[in-house]
Structure 1
């Protein structure tokens, strides 16, 4: 029952993910951080098979760092997304990764952006996106309330609405979520939502 979603606002991008590590009917832990810091101004939120998710996102992170080390300049968010898409496409014909990615970043020239990359190497630049069973509810909620000129406070309120909708409608809903943001000041943790009360209080 994985849930990963994100959106782009006025000068920032936000991604949120559940923190449950599950196998079949077993919950192994409920504080798994599925949003990786790719570099100072990029985030990767991933869902899929746990081994593929961890291995592939770490592979992308190290190669983005290697590019900056070799060339002295960081990859743009678009370049990092295209590199990720290329690696998934190459693996698709050999040993495919079962991993879906939302990549959020901020570039001085183009501002904030969000890229949708699925396990069969489809790449799209989007204003909002989601993966997992929670996407059925988060996408419809964002379709209803999303605006491209949202402030950070409005975007967090929308994220909280998505979390509440997921928790109230999924048969087996993940209890905890992590929210991260990237803007001109860099990529960082924003908040953890660990109960319905947390979200209700934040939304008031």
Structure 2
């Protein structure tokens, strides 16, 4: 007779009889409690928009990093445990710099994403960089390189990466993803992507969209974080 679920979810590397790793599934569920993040790919660049949640009026909003630069040509939006995201981003930064010093060129976006996923999948082992549990964070990795142009990848705690044209993660991801599927067009301009990203975020957020609770950035082709004035301008266009 099979043991109960609770007996199988204690070991991070133990499969259940149904072939499931419950600790990985729990980590994926943790992401659904995180703030909503949206990324949209266009021929002119990639737009990132993230909900910034403040748990107290005394908290400084700018201290909540939900969009992080990995290299000058690569950035990511995160949802889930921010501390885990910072560990992965720091790993990505080291890999990007090592690649540049070795080959005198920027690291390809796909290779960088694979490096992040390799770290994410390396849990429950005796390796020096290994975590004792899966990372409880999902990333939307946006970047540009000469050979493949603009690229957008989604990573999850299992170490899986998938290329997307538009993707939403976090607590409002289901409704946001439906909107993106209906509204996305291959010939969108960067300005249209900014409008779609913010309007989609506005539809799934509980609070009214403002410069205090939204972060935006783009990779076109270099990473640029949007100022409050620029975000305000986009809000006024909606």
Q: How does 1:73-152 map to 2 (within 5 A)?
A: 73-91=105-123, 94-95=131-132, 96-152=134-190
Q: 1:192 to 1:137 in 2, by over 3 A?
A: farther
Distance 1:200 1:38, change over 3 A: closer
Shift of the 7–27 alpha-carbon distance from structure 1 to 2, 3 Å rule, reads: farther
The one of 19, 44, 47 aligned to 1:11: 44
1:11–1:85 distance in 2 versus 1, CA, 3 Å? same
SS of aligned partner of 2:43: coil
Tell me which protein shows more strand as a share of its residues.
Answer: 1
Q: CA RMSD in A?
A: 2.7
How many pairs are equivalent? Answer: 197
Matches of 1:91 and 1:42, distance apart in 2: 25
Q: 1:122 to 1:65 in 2, by over 3 A?
A: same
CA distance in 2 between counterparts of 1:120 and 1:172 reads 34
Determine which of 182, 192, 197 is the counterpart of 2:219: 182
Would you say the 8 A contact 1:3–1:18 is kept in 2?
Answer: yes
Residue of 146, 149, 161 corresponding to 2:199: 161
The 8 Å contact of residues 37 and 78 in structure 2, kept in 1 or not, is answered as: yes
Larger Rg: 2
- SS of equivalent residue, structure 1 residue 106: strand
TM-score by length of 1: 0.84
Q: 1:86 to 1:146 in 2, by over 3 A?
A: same
Q: Mark the runs of 5 or more structure 2 residues left unpaired by the alignment.
A: 1-33, 126-130
Q: Which moved more, 1:1-10 or 1:47-56?
A: 47-56
Q: Which runs of 5+ in 1 are unaligned?
A: none
More displaced, 119-128 or 54-63? 54-63
Mean Cα displacement is larger for which, 30-39 or 153-162?
Answer: 30-39
